[in-house]
A and B are shown apart, each in its own frame.
Chain A
Amino acid sequence: MIPVRCFTCGKVISGAWEEYKKRTKLEDPAKVLDDLGISRYCCRRMMLTHVELVDESSPYY
């Protein structure tokens, strides 16, 4: 799961994750992040570097 808040500044960023993931299939990530109001580079890296792993492990629970 995407971390709830940005590690560095503490802004709540997880709400933007689903839209980010959907839109980056077609659009430029930089543009999507600007649209979603994620302006600082600490918050932007949270989105850019996240790897979603819940779907990988859920069949084994």
Chain B
Amino acid sequence: MKVEIIELGDRAAKFVLSGVAPAFVNSIRRAMLAEVPTLAIDYVNIYDNTSVLFDEQLALRLGLIPLITDLDSYVLPSECSCGGEGCSQCQVSLTLSAEGPKTVYSTELVSADPSVMPAEVVPLIKLSERHRISLEAIARLGTGHDHAKWQAGIACGYKNVPKITISDECDACGMCVDACPRGVLVIADDVVKVVDERACSLCRLCEGVCELNKIYDVIKVGTHPDSFIVTAETDGSIPIRELITRSAENISDRAEALDGYLSVIDMEMEMDHHAT
């Protein structure tokens, strides 16, 4: 397996993964979307709300705020020593009280743990005269399996690395160059050349528009079957680097667990065999 990083920012990454099966890349994608836990507001105790939004709508908006999460200092409620009842290990309380007229932003939430705070400035609600909200929100760890608010990865996807082959029969008519929406092809010295192969969207418009393609295979858009361009983004709750490494760890943990289950089954079968 080889990794080549194209872009690596704080929140977004793009890299080429080669020498792996499509199933592996897909499991990385799925782990980024649904397996890596993050903090999100799970329920809200509303003391007062005279704003234009219903309590439920306000709670939904609060739930969708990404919270900066240190995954080493919190555990999932289902794995916590308190048994999921709620303690400082598995939940954080954030309070918010505001009075109009003004717009309330997510940054006004006061957290019990200063390391947990909103990752983005979200306008929560616009209050006018006499409008008041006062509430306590409880944030917990969760995974994207249960609700999209706990989904750390956003727009994670992959595609095969494109491979464009142009044969010697090409007469450099330029039809494919004009047809390509991504500007992948260019004519230089009377031959069609591929400039930016990875930008190709595999739409195969160039194949269709080529007159000579009806007789020979002049231009052909294929893929490298074992190399993938992976794009991933986070909502800001954890850095992208951590998201990717944690998703890989998650896969290896689950594979090990499966291995454990299988060996138990193996042993049982062997014992049955000896008994009979």
Contacts and interface: CB of A to CB of B under 8 A. Distances in A.
A and B touch in the complex (CB under 8 A): yes
Interface of A: 1-2, 4-5, 9-12, 14-15, 17-18, 40, 54-55, 57-59, 61
Given A4-B122, A14-B123, A61 B131 contact: yes
A57 B65 CA distance: 24
A54 B101 CA distance: 13
Contact of B120 (A15, A18, A59): A15
Interface stretch (B18-26, B46-54, B169-177, B185-193): B46-54
B154 A58 contact: no
Given A58-B126, A61-B51, A4 B61 contact: yes
Contacts, number: 57
Contacts of B119: 12
Contacts of A55: 126
Contact of B131 (A2, A40, A58): A58
Interface in B53-106: 53, 61, 64-66
A9 B233 CA distance: 10
Nearest to B105: A15
B274 to A, nearest CB: 53
Given A58-B52, A61-B51, A12 B155 contact: no
